């Protein structure tokens, strides 16, 4: 049986992103890995929508097409300047790359149930 390539079109990419979103929150380490993959898939999706090749994207950023490919696969973390350059080149807002996080309310830090420290509610403490 031959290995079939995945994430070759927008529908497959969206499906993969949804699967990654469903894996969120297992551990902090997993969240970092998942975030690299989600951002990479967002890069690939908009690149395909815009009809750009890996080589054209790499040339626009001054990096190799292999590096862009590693970003898209989530192998390497995309640096912020590369994301800004990609957003300019592919004519999208920088927010585009983070939209799955925003849409699904994914957070890296656990929020406290309340933001009041317990000792401030004690009547015998100085205020």
Domain membership of residue 3 (yes or no) is no
Residue 2 lies in a domain: no
At residue 109, the pLDDT reads 81
Tell me which residue of 122, 87, 105, 108 sits closest to 36, measured CA to CA: 108
In-domain check, residue 87: yes
Domain extent at residue 108: 10-121
- CATH number reported for the structural domain that contains residue 43 in this entry: 1.10.260.40
User: 41 Cβ partners below 8 Å, 6+ apart?
Assistant: 7, 13, 16, 17, 20, 72, 74
Residue with tokens 């079109």: 9
Evaluate whether residue 24 is within a structural domain.
yes
pLDDT at 2: 59
Any domain includes 127: no
Q: What is the pLDDT of residue 24?
A: 92
The span from the CA of 30 to the CA of 20, in Å, is 10
Quick one: which H or E segment has residue 28?
Answer: helix 28-50
How much is the pLDDT for 112?
Answer: 52
Domain count, the chain: 1
Residue 42 lies inside a defined structural domain of this protein: yes
Q: Specify if 1 maps to a domain.
A: no
Helix (H) or strand (E) holding 15, with range, is helix 10-22
Per-residue pLDDT of the chain (127 residues; tens, 9 = 90+): 556 778 989 999 999 999 999 999 888 889 999 999 999 999 999 999 999 999 999 999 999 999 999 999 999 999 999 999 999 999 999 999 999 999 999 988 875 555 544 444 555 555 4
């Amino acid at each position: 049986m031959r290995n079939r390539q995945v994430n070759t079109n927008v529908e497959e990419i969206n499906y993969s992103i949804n699967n990654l979103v469903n894996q969120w929150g297992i551990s902090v380490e997993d969240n970092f890995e998942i975030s690299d993959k989600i951002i990479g898939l967002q890069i690939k999706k908009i690149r395909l929508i815009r009809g750009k090749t890996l080589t054209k994207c790499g040339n626009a950023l001054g990096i190799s097409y292999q590096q862009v490919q590693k970003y898209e696969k989530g192998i390497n973390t995309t640096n912020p300047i590369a994301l800004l350059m990609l957003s300019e080149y592919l004519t999208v807002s920088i927010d585009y790359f983070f939209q799955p996080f925003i849409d699904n309310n994914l957070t890296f830090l656990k929020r406290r149930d309340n933001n009041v420290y317990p000792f401030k509610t004690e009547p015998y403490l100085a205020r």
